[in-house]
Amino acid sequence: MFNKPLLPCLLAMLCSLSSTVAADTLDSVQQRGHLKCGVTTGVPGFSMPNTRGEWNGLDVDLCRAIAAATLGDASKTKFVPLTTKERFTALQSGEVDVLTRNTTWNQTRDSQLGLNFAGINFYDGQGFMVMKDLGVTRLDQMDGATICIQSATTSEQNLADYFRFKEMSYKTVVFETNAQALQGFEARRCDLFTTDTSQLYGHRLTMQAPAEAMILPEIISKEPLGPVVRQGDDRWFRVVKWTHNAMINAEELGVTAANAETMKQSQNPDIRRLLGVEGPRGKGLDLPRDWVYQVITQVGNYGESFERNLGQRSPLKIARGLNALWVDGGLHYAPPIR
């Protein structure tokens, strides 16, 4: 009866009328005393629980940073695992305060779901993994391939575009979680496994025989991943946006978890404003004057988070590439704090 793409939108409208969704998320987070972040059901390097059930990853760090900024304590977080299908509804209905869950920013999601993207914390692109013994080195050799993929993702749409444009045929085997999709690939139910390239590197490490698989060189899409909030709550939108900006600016200014305390003595005006020694401090964001100091001392700057979760200090060893700062030839460029 309903046009399917309109359903999430109708739901968002209904939810905005219901009392379960707080009109002012900052208020409700501060009253509740903890922050609820929607994360994945497990993607190495982005959001993944360890054996003690503690969540780690770049997206988990962003969530903890928002808790540090708003509650003064990065540990005041609850992580709600959400599949690709569940993620937008969970945010629309108020089950979570923010999605920090490798989610691609595109026009439809930004305009038709009652949601706002608050920044880009990882520049990604869609890639493909193949078993080496297939003897394939390029994607255009894969006409007629069977492909393991997760439902309700931009990956499904890009795949259709790419194969149609190249006039190649393919079949998909669709799974609800990425763990299932990977299992399908390992069990050789498909020739290819596709998702965002960064996730392919992570998933490959969790395979029983990672050396048997390789990632093809083609990147077929732009996948700018970032945090998402509900529309109509500008105060909260600003808080999430500026927490991310603060982590990028801190890296650019060389302010780290270890040196933030001594950096308060710096005479560099940008550093003094960043750390709330002078300048706007939390004014206008309705945050305490030391909000960035709390973020950086408790979580670290963007580069520290990247290296520990995805980079050289992690098992994934992903190069900074597009995710380097603009001053190093990458794309991360945050508006200044002043």
State in angstroms the smallest separation of the CB of 111 from ligand GSH: 15
| Cα gap 276→239, rounded to integer Å | 15
Give yes or no for a contact between 58 and 17, defined as CB atoms under 8 angstroms apart. no
Q: Please say which residue, 40 or 298, places its beta carbon nearer to ligand GSH.
A: 40
Question: CA 305, 239, 101 angle in degrees (round to 5)?
Answer: 50
Q: Which of 116, 121, 178, 309 lies at the binding interface for ligand GSH (CB under 6 A)?
A: 178
Contact status: 121 vs ligand GSH (CB under 6 A): no
Q: Which of 25, 92, 116, 150 lies at the binding interface for ligand GSH (CB under 6 A)?
A: 150
State in angstroms the smallest separation of the CB of 225 from ligand GSH: 6
| Cα gap 193→206, rounded to integer Å | 14
Q: Which of 59, 97, 186, 196 lies at the binding interface for ligand GSH (CB under 6 A)?
A: 196
Q: Which of 116, 155, 197, 249 lies at the binding interface for ligand GSH (CB under 6 A)?
A: 155
Token pair belonging to 236: 């909260």
| Cα gap 67→137, rounded to integer Å | 44
Q: Which helix (H) or strand (E) holds 194?
A: strand 192-196
Q: Which of 100, 102, 297, 298 lies at the binding interface for ligand GSH (CB under 6 A)?
A: 102
Beta bridge partners of 36: 78
Q: Please say which residue, 57 or 94, places its beta carbon nearer to ligand GSH.
A: 57
| Cα gap 303→252, rounded to integer Å | 9
State in angstroms the smallest separation of the CB of 282 from ligand GSH: 31
Q: Do β-strands 122-124 and 115-117 pair in parallel, antiparallel, or remain unpaired?
A: unpaired
- Residue ranges binding ligand GSH (CB under 6 A): 40-41, 43, 83-84, 102-104, 150, 153-155, 177-178, 181, 195-196, 199, 223, 225
